[in-house]
Structure 1
Amino acid sequence: MKKITFLLLLLPFFVGAQSDGYSRERIAEAEMKSASALMNLAVNPNTQNYDITYHKLEFTVNPSVYFITGKVTTTYTALSPMTTVIFDLTNELTVSSVKKNGVSLSFVQNSNDELVITLPSTQATGTSATVEITYSGQPSSGEQAFTTDTHSGSPVLYTLSEPFGARDWWPCKQDLNDKVDSIDVYITAPAQYVSVSNGLQQSAIVTGTNKTTHFHHSYPIPAYLVAIAVSNYSVFTLTAGTAPNTFPVVNYVYPEHLAAAQSDLADIVPIIGFYESAIETYPFASEKYGHCEFNAGGGMEHQTVSFVTGFYRSLIAHELAHQWFGDKVTCATWKDIWLNEGFATYMASLIIRELDGNAAFIADKSDMINYITSAPNGAVYLTDSEATNVNRIFSTRLSYDKGAMVLNMLKFKLGEATFFQGLRNYLDNPAHAYGYATTEDLRSELQAASGVDLAEFFNDWVYKQGYPTYTITAQNIATGTVRFTVSQTTSHVSVPFFEMPVPVRVFGAGGQQMDLVLDNTTNGQVFDVAVPFAVTSLTFDPEKEIISQNSMTSLSNHAFEINDAITVYPNPASTSLHVALPDNVNLKKAVVHNILGQVLLTSANSTIDISTLSSGVHFITVETDAGNKTIRFIKK
């Protein structure tokens, strides 16, 4: 059993202005619909005194008939002394027997949709037991967790249990903080149909007119991600993964859509290959990944098999990414939703770069930036009050697009290799793997991988609101040297200044170009940068690496003035005076004289000892290889 504190994992689909027509707004809308029910889920306190470690699920169904017969064998461990064990189960299903070690137990189904089983003796804390529950009936239709329908005249049965519909079709512990270590699923249906479930198919045995299909799933899974489907599916299998960890991608498709699905899913193998090369091996590689077509709107990510209504590339890329960022490591709270949705959004955007090229990737990032900056406010991380608002949780602008662009900025700031190493550490850490993580867990892993303190970055870009608008001026101040002045305003008062590397591209008259990164840590910051040609124009952030709005660049045509570049400080001064010069200007000497012009001190150092001077007004002439400047100062 894997414990998780309030995880969520109802990750259907996404996409912003994607070329295949499936938008991020549509994905967010589907996820929001699922989450609306989840947010109303109250954990049953009567099921919190045990941990489930194993389920054997045996279902007999017919896709033409709205009915289920089942036998569920559950192994659990007592967390406190127990005289009864309680499971969640709708009263619309009738339990016919409960056994433990072959011995019948007494039980009752109460008005709270609970199955209360009386144990033969008190079960001690830390001990395990196994009970076998047999039941049948027409599942409750309230949550639409169990559906029979048709496609092109053929019957189809499928389940969609998020967030608490599992109890409508099988007895379970229906909450979000207990992952079952492993499950076996046996589906018996008329032999002409194909059955689908989590994990790897072990067998399909025909007995008379029926066929029993066995699936085994050996990874931690919550009850609401257990799923089955039955129809006249056409099945085609691809092989994906990096040797020696190859695995099947099993696709269950309505026959009338087979040709289109085979064409649309041609990209799934390179998508998996990219994800594995960028982050790590597919987290369920000992079993399978796959897609199962169903009729519900949008789709539902079920562990190892995504139930989908279509095979858009952007959608399958987003859904696949959730197997890492959502299934293997799940956001711990609604406040951390961007750890699921921002990651899935960004990974799907990286697929655009991988398969369509950098220009298409830049265009996708530009679309996200434009949407992010369409309003001046909004943080990636949610407040307590925002975490109760499903519309805010699944905000495409903030949880999806801004979350994705924050990840892009981290990649830009840390470097691609370091960024992905941090992600691998995040996914592989035993404290997070097949469990949950917080925003601070991600920051800790990225800091450890990079050696960079990211507290200020996360404070500005994750926890607080808004974005900057930059004004960048360039000036050719000497042969081979360009001075950049970087200023910014911010869209929201929560952040007075965003510390961020700022990318610019400069161009020369002969067609030269050069990409520069200005590490902007203060407002009005000046950078003198070696550029091997005279700059004739410049562009701000040509690759769309950072979030900003209406940023401007300009090239100053004014000649370089040494008087603007040389300063002394402090002024007034008592013991020493410091000469500040641009990086490309060298000091020859500094001469201190009085108001009569008499020389009092001469120094070749930029720090001058003036402790012996009398108090009053003095002058210093700074002589450099770029010119001279005389400055009045006061000796205290």
Structure 2
Amino acid sequence: MKTSRLYLGALILMIGTITLSAQDDQSIIWDHEDVICKEQEHAEFKIQQRGNRTAFADQTDIYYQIMKWDIDPAQYYITGEITYFFKSKVDNLTAFHLDMANELQVNSITRNATPLTYTHTSDQLLTISLGKSLALGETDSFTISYEGAPPSNGFGSFEQGTHAGQPVIWTLSEPYGVRDWWPGKQDLIDKIDSVDIYVTTPPGQLAASNGKLMSTTELNGKLIPHWQHRYPIASYLVAIAVTNYSAYSQYLPLDNGDTIEILNYVYPETATQSQTETERTIQIMANYNRLFGTYPFAAEKYGHAQFGWGGGMEHQTMSFMGGFSFGLIAHELAHQWFGDKVTCGSWTEIWLNEGFATYLTGLTYEDQSPDIYWPQWKTSTSNSAMSQPGGSVFVDDTTSTNRIFSGRLSYNKGAYLLHMLRWIMGDEKFFAACRDYLDSPGTAYDFAYTAELQSYLEQRSGKDLDEFFNDWYYGEGFPSYNLTWTQQADSIVFWLDQTQSHPSVSFFEMPVPVSVVLNGAPQTFVLDHSTQGQRFSFPIGNTVIENVSIDPEIWILSKNNTVTEITTSTYQPIGQNSFNVFPNPAQSFVEIVPAKDVFAADFIDNLGRKWKTTISAGRIDISALSPGYYILMLKNSNGDLLSVQSIVIAR
């Protein structure tokens, strides 16, 4: 094996100056959306093929597997032998259950060379009789020898292709494809604590897999690489790929003097270009290390294996890559923290994998191109999330492929949920909470749920986030803000309303940033919006207000916002609470109390259109106005402004 070692300690600063190239400039939003589309495309097929999920998954804990495969990429076939070491999680365990495709044939199942009986039923369930009863906590092991041509389905779990006339075979098991090529526990309950993987290949072929390459031996003219992985791994993240790879390593130096190896298995015909492209991994990983803690499998490696599918897959310690675009590298690497180290405990909560990976891709743009590509990423991601009025990040239907792997909701809205939490909490507390989620004993190298993430966020922020998650995670839609402002003496006064795009949320309680340009300098005021028509006042001194805008940095998912200035030169407000306006919401009329001194009223809608009305005995006829939110300005007979309030017309 020819290996190129690229020590890049001093070069990291140089890489930081070149970062994104002109080629990236042409495809910045592209790549982000293409990653999502390719992953959804693969998952669509696999969800349709998922079949049985064993009802017995929580009866046993697999703590070690020895996995041996014989693969010739020119032949669509697999021969395997897997030894399972496990512990019983129940009392009186007499059978072990695995998912296994009907296309695979069991040759034997033995314990210490003694045959065990089994059944392999049409529902693709393999049941092994243990021949004895295991007590709670008791350990046992057995070995399965099998072979066959795995089911072929176009975007499946075991695929054969070619590159430059050379054969290649790869696997991709997310979410329900394990059983297609090896008998396994196809669940999100039990991670295998440790694996040793041996892949026998013809000469000239290299096999990529999980963990650290311990050795490569020759036997009868064939090569047998030994991959060793000593971290817990979900079964769908176990993978192999075999072809005539060209291999090279790049290294990220750490502050303690250690390095992290980035081992790349690429097609030889594109190796020169790939080596340039994979260099980007170094700075991306350095940024993730800074934000979320050192790469979680640093004792072994990270790497890429090129394969024949157009997207990527975050196989633990070695992502399989259809190419090496900037966004794809960032997305799949991000999964090593969010998806591999900590894995969503249910496909209903896939956002814990995909929302985080999408957001970390955005953080890569923030790190390397804060003025150009980071704003573009925020615009693209938020626009996608709000391209329809409804939709929840929480997946309530795991039978729907489009729902689970929705680019709009699981990826983009999930990413923006995190961005809004960062805004609410501030960088220090937000990233600390993310590290808590990754490193705490209950979640590190295990499965996790949204409720656990919320708990860590609440502990760091000191805030109750139930309302936030009810609105943004379980709820649907987003707000549209209607801001009215005026300058009063040495203060700026705001009134803020909102409408909601979906009826599942009655009000989004959020701190809303408003940017005000004062004498040429922008200043941000935060409006802690908790009720309709809320009034805010901030001292600004004797300054000139040049511009007012809502959330120009795109911290919040909101759309169709409006800003209206009150420009009455004789503005002398008595105060919004000096008059009672009722009912509110109203249908055909409103009453003003006290009515004395109030002569006229102007209604301004969220488009800035104004309707002038007169008052008769304290009553205003509003039957001609359309339903919606309005700013109500009460005036005296001289046209002086007495009060500004918000009102809802609902019918």
- TM-score, normalised to structure 1, is 0.80
| 8 A Cα contact 1:76 1:130, kept in partner | yes
Given that 1:18 and 1:314 are in contact with CA atoms closer than 8 Å, whether structure 2 keeps it comes out as no
1:491-524 deviations in whole A, cap 9, x for unaligned? 222223222111122224x423322222222222
Is residue 2:202 matched to residue 1:210?
Answer: no
Deviation of 1:301 after TM superposition, in Å, equals 1.9
Q: Which runs of 5+ in 1 are unaligned?
A: 1-14, 572-628, 630-636
User: Structure 1 residues 179 and 569 mapped into 2: Cα distance closer, same or farther (>3 Å)?
Assistant: same
Secondary structure at the aligned position of 2:339 is classed as coil
Offset, 1:117: 4.6
Identify which of 525, 543, 549 aligns with 1:539: 549
Take 1:234 and 1:365, find their aligned partners in 2: how far apart are those partners?
37
Q: Partners of 1:527 and 1:47 in 2: how far apart?
A: 55
Letter in 2 for 1:19: I
Deviation per CA, 1:335-368: give whole Å up to 9, x if none.
3222222211111111111112233212221222
Q: Which residues of structure 2 form unaligned runs of 5+?
A: 1-23, 582-641, 643-651
Deviation at 1:151, TM superposition (A): 0.9
State yes or no: 1:327 paired with 2:336. no
1:146 Cα offset (Å) = 2.7
How far apart, in 2, do the equivalents of 1:350 and 1:178 lie? 31
Change (3 A) 1:294 1:541: same
Q: 1:292 aligns with which of 277, 280, 305?
A: 305
Does 2:252 match 1:240? yes
Q: Is the 8 A contact 1:91 1:109 kept in 2?
A: no
What percentage of residue pairs aligned between the two structures are identical?
Answer: 40
| CA distance in 2: counterparts of 1:491 and 1:84, whole angstroms | 52
For residues 498 and 42 of structure 1, do their structure 2 counterparts lie closer, same or farther at Cα, with a shift above 3 Å needed? same
Structure 2 residue identity aligned to 1:322? H
* Deviation of the 1:104 alpha carbon: 2.5
Contact 2:229 2:300 (8 Å CA) reproduced: yes
Preserved contact between residue 241 and residue 282 of structure 1 (Cα < 8 Å): no
Q: CA deviation at 1:333?
A: 2.6
**Closer, same or farther in 2 for the Cα pair 1:565/1:252, shift >3 Å?**
same
Q: How many residues align?
A: 554
1:133 aligns with 2:133: no
User: Aligned pair 1:104/2:109, yes or no?
Assistant: no
Q: How far apart are 1:442 and its partner, in Å?
A: 1.8
Q: 1:566 to 1:209 in 2, by over 3 A?
A: closer
State yes or no: 1:415 paired with 2:436: no
Sort the Cα spacing of 1:45 and 1:470 in 2 relative to 1 into closer, same or farther, 3 A. Answer: closer
Whether the aligned pair in 2 keeps the contact of 1:99 and 1:105 (CA below 8 Å) is yes
* Further displaced range: 417-426 or 243-252: 243-252
- Of 181-190 and 131-140, more deviation after overlay is shown by 131-140
Superposition pairs for residues 90-239 of structure 1, below 5 Å? 90=101, 92-101=103-112, 103-108=113-118, 110-112=120-122, 113=124, 117-119=128-130, 121-141=132-152, 144-239=156-251
Partner residue of 1:441 out of 452, 458, 475? 452
Mapped contact 1:241–1:281 kept (Cα < 8 A): no
Per-residue deviation, 1:132: 2.7
Question: Highest CA radius of gyration, 1 or 2?
Answer: 1
Deviations 1:496-555 (A, max 9, x none): 3222111122224x4233222222222222222122422132222121111111212233
Tell me the C-alpha RMSD between the 2 structures.
2.9
Give SS of 1:66's match.
Answer: coil
Q: Write the mapping of 1:441-590 to structure 2, written as runs, cut at 5 A.
A: 441-479=452-490, 481-508=491-518, 510-532=519-541, 533-559=543-569, 561-565=571-575
Give, as a single letter, the amino acid of the residue that structure 1 aligns with 2:524.
D
Per-residue CA deviations over 1:448-493 (Å, capped at 9, x if unaligned) read 10112222222222221222222223322113x2222222222222
TM-score, scaled to structure 2: 0.79
Pairwise CA distance, 1:369: 2.4
Whole-Å separation in 2 of the counterparts to 1:468 and 1:233:
51
Change (3 A) 1:163 1:522: closer
Indicate how the Cα distance of structure 1 residues 24 and 208 shifts in structure 2: closer, same or farther if over 3 A, else same.
Answer: same
**1:234-313 matched pairs, under 5 angstroms:** 234-240=246-252, 242-244=254-256, 246-313=259-326
CA distance in 2, matches of 1:256, 1:226: 27
Aligned to 2:386: 373
Q: Distance in 2 between matches of 1:171 and 1:287?
A: 26
Give the partner amino acid of 1:552.
T
For the 8 Å contact 2:512–2:529, the answer to whether it is kept is yes
* Higher mean C-alpha deviation, range 122-131 or range 255-264: 122-131
Change in CA separation of 1:379 and 1:152 when aligned onto 2, cut-off 3 Å = same
Per the alignment, residue 365 of structure 2 pairs with 352
Q: Which amino acid aligns with 1:518?
A: L
Correspondence 1:65 to 2:75: yes
Cα pair 1:76 1:129 within 8 Å, conserved: yes
Does structure 1 residue 22 correspond to structure 2 residue 31? yes
Shift of 1:84: 4.7
- Structure 1's 120 and 482: CA in aligned 2 closer, same or farther, altered over 3 A? closer
